């Protein structure tokens, strides 16, 4: 859902590598990264680009708050930093209500605002065959009214009281978030509790939002350059259905969704014991917890949802395809390497590697392929960190006179250099500095902190990652970068899709057939 103004997240702007998204928000491939938010990873982000992927991604909700007021108490100095860097710590408390709802409270009195985030442990990974796109469709239905809140009234109450709000669906998680003046905390809690308890589902509302999502698909996938090729890339990259299909879903499956499906989905996944409530801002924790108990604790818990198998079979050979796109004007190359599940031992080194390889205009790929050899219009990528297996993505939009084989060869040359020679100390430190800057920028607003707390809890079961992620990156060595490059960036572990414009005199109709068919 996209009902608030958007901000662009990435370099040209920066997107946090620690949540899985590194660069986005430009032409060509970077536009594809922003669209992947809906098609494969996350929908409804308040930004033109991804955060994402992830995390779902990122999620720089640049609203109210500053780094000076980013913590409930003064930030402590890290003794090991010798006075050169602050050890930033987000203080929060955590409580579990009788019905299983996890509650996280982080006071921040720097500005008279509060940010509420409800994270549900459900995403497109939980969909079954024949009902793709349902998690995102259901996110839309959550704004269509509940027992005590009329259709559209949720928006009216938030906006008319000076707030902002939205929802987002990803492969792993669904989020609902709002920022309001501090004196409207009870309103925010009432609205969220009422729809968690008593969502009003009707056939008319289902049909209305089904058509809205189908139009969203037309806008963001079917009628966008590289849109359908990008969707196909996910199908080629993954084997397991949980991640293989797009978050936006197919037209046929959206048509198949029934009111009974919606009711079952609500009861299964929108239960308090399947959610996390994160509240950050200007409030008193004791009083806030009393209000949270008042509105949420009587909502009945439900049986735990069925587990989803996310494992991928070992990839033993390169996967490759070429497609044509009637809407494309330049050739695009998409490359991804399969990575392990998120928050595992090798992820920090892989994210530092990604920063060295493709993080901004000083990165190796940009300097080599764009600035020195002038082979591409733009190039970059990100690490997509998921609950299950993720990927390191690289994308390049070619100049009109460039050959795809030459661009691929130049990319693989830079990857080979990472495998063969240790990273220089200055380059490693630059990547760590960038990671630190991006992380600190990402926790500036109260909404971003609320979102990160809930996301880390749902995805990895550890909200304190908001305090320990920087430490993980600080310990990465040049040997770590070289080791993960050799382990994961092998030809047999990659997927490649080359998307080309239709040649002069070619048939647009033929190109609209399913890629890879």
Average pLDDT over residues 30-53: 36
pLDDT digits (tens, 9 = 90+) for 150-190: 999 999 999 999 999 999 999 999 999 999 999 999 999 99
- Which pLDDT score, from 0 to 100, does residue 28 have? 35
- Which pLDDT score, from 0 to 100, does residue 118 have? 98
CB within 8 Å of 214: residues ≥ 6 apart: 251, 254
CATH T-level assignment (fold) for domain 319-503:
Cytochrome Bc1 Complex; Chain A, domain 1 (3.30.830)
- Which pLDDT score, from 0 to 100, does residue 87 have? 80
Whether the CB-CB separation of 140 and 256 falls below 8 Å is answered with no
Residue-averaged pLDDT of the chain: 85
What is the rounded CA–CA span in Å between residue 180 and residue 394? 38
What percent of the chain has pLDDT above 70?
81
- Which pLDDT score, from 0 to 100, does residue 20 have? 33
Q: Which residues pair with 119 in a beta bridge?
A: 175, 276
- Which pLDDT score, from 0 to 100, does residue 438 have? 87
Max intra-chain CA distance, the chain = 70
pLDDT digits (tens, 9 = 90+) for 333-387: 999 999 999 999 999 999 999 999 999 999 999 999 999 999 999 999 999 999 9
pLDDT band for 249, please (50, 70, 90 cuts).
very high
CB within 8 Å of 186: residues ≥ 6 apart: 291
Whether the CB-CB separation of 451 and 117 falls below 8 Å is answered with yes
- Which pLDDT score, from 0 to 100, does residue 60 have? 29
Q: Given this chain, do its domains 93-297 and 319-503 carry the same CATH topology?
A: yes
CA angle 419, 422, 424 (to 5 degrees): 135
CB within 8 Å of 153: residues ≥ 6 apart: 145
**389-398, strands of its sheet edge to edge:** 319-325, 494-501, 332-341, 389-398, 376-384
Of the candidates 407, 400, 229, 408, the residue with the CA atom closest to the CA atom of residue 318: 408
What is the rounded CA–CA span in Å between residue 225 and residue 500? 10
437 has pLDDT over 60: yes
pLDDT digits (tens, 9 = 90+) for 271-320: 999 999 999 999 999 999 999 999 999 999 999 999 999 999 999 999 99
- Which pLDDT score, from 0 to 100, does residue 9 have? 26
pLDDT digits (tens, 9 = 90+) for 101-130: 999 999 999 999 999 999 999 999 999 999
pLDDT band for 1, please (50, 70, 90 cuts).
very low
- Which pLDDT score, from 0 to 100, does residue 503 have? 80
pTM: 0.85
Domain boundaries, the chain: 93-297, 319-503
pLDDT band for 436, please (50, 70, 90 cuts).
confident
pLDDT band for 435, please (50, 70, 90 cuts).
confident
- Which pLDDT score, from 0 to 100, does residue 2 have? 33
- Which pLDDT score, from 0 to 100, does residue 96 have? 98
Residue that has been written with the tokens 């002038």 in this structure: 374
- Which pLDDT score, from 0 to 100, does residue 509 have? 52
197 alpha-carbon distance from chain centroid = 27
Average pLDDT over residues 84-91: 79
- Which pLDDT score, from 0 to 100, does residue 442 have? 87
- Which pLDDT score, from 0 to 100, does residue 517 have? 42
Give phi and psi for 293, each to the nearest 5.
Answer: -65, -40
Give phi and psi for 151, each to the nearest 5.
Answer: -60, 120
Of the candidates 230, 321, 220, the residue with the CA atom closest to the CA atom of residue 29: 230
CA angle 486, 490, 492 (to 5 degrees): 150
pLDDT digits (tens, 9 = 90+) for 2-39: 332 222 222 222 233 333 322 223 333 333 343 343 33
Q: Supply the CATH classification number for the domain 93-297.
A: 3.30.830.10
């Amino acid at each position: 859902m996209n009902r608030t103004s958007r901000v662009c997240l990435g370099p040209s702007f920066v997107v946090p590598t620690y949540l899985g998204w590194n660069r986005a928000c430009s032409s060509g491939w970077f536009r594809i990264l922003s669209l992947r938010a809906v098609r494969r990873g996350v929908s409804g982000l308040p930004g033109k680009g991804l955060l994402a992927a992830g995390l779902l991604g990122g999620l720089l909700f640049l609203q109210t708050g500053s780094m000076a007021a980013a913590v409930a108490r003064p930030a402590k100095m890290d003794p090991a930093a010798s006075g050169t860097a602050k050890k930033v710590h987000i203080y929060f408390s955590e409580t579990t209500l009788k019905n299983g709802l996890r509650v996280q409270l982080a006071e921040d009195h720097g500005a008279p605002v509060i940010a509420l985030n409800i994270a549900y442990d459900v995403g497109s990974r939980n969909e079954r065959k024949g009902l793709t796109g349902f998690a995102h469709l259901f996110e839309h239905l959550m704004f269509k009214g509940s027992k005590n809140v009329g259709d559209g009234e949720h928006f009216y109450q938030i906006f008319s009281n000076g707030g902002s709000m939205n929802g987002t669906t990803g492969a792993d998680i669904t989020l609902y978030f709002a920022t309001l003046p501090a004196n409207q905390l009870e309103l925010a809690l009432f609205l969220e509790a009422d729809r968690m308890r008593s969502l009003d589902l009707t056939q008319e509302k289902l049909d209305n939002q089904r058509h809205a999502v189908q139009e969203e698909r037309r806008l963001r996938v079917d009628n966008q350059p590289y849109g359908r090729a990008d969707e196909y890339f996910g199908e080629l990259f993954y084997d397991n259905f949980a991640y293989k299909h797009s978050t936006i879903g197919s037209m046929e499956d959206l048509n198949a969704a029934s009111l009974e499906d919606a009711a079952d989905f609500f009861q299964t996944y929108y239960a308090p014991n399947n959610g996390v409530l994160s509240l950050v801002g200007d409030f008193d924790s004791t009083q806030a917890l009393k209000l949270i108990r008042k509105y949420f604790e009587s909502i009945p818990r439900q049986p735990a949802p069925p587990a989803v198998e996310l494992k991928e079979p070992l990839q033993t050979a390169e996967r490759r395809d070429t497609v044509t796109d009637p809407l494309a004007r330049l050739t695009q190359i998409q490359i991804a390497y399969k990575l392990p599940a998120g928050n595992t031992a090798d992820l920090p080194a892989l994210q530092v590697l990604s920063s060295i390889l493709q993080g901004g205009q000083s990165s190796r790929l940009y300097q080599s392929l764009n600035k020195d050899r002038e082979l591409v219009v733009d190039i970059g990528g990100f690490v997509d960190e998921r609950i299950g297996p993720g990927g390191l993505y690289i994308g390049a939009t070619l100049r009109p006179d460039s050959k795809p084989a030459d661009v691929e060869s130049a990319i693989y040359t830079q990857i080979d250099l990472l495998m063969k020679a240790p990273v220089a100390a200055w380059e490693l430190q630059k990547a760590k500095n960038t990671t630190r800057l991006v992380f600190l920028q990402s926790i500036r607003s109260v909404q971003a902190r609320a979102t990160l707390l809930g996301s880390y809890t749902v995805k990895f079961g550890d909200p304190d990652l908001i305090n320990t992620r920087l430490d993980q990156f600080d310990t990465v060595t040049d040997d770590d970068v070289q080791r993960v490059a050799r382990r994961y960036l092998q030809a047999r572990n990659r997927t490649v899709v080359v998307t080309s414009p239709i040649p002069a005199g070619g048939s647009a109709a033929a190109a609209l057939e399913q890629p890879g068919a």
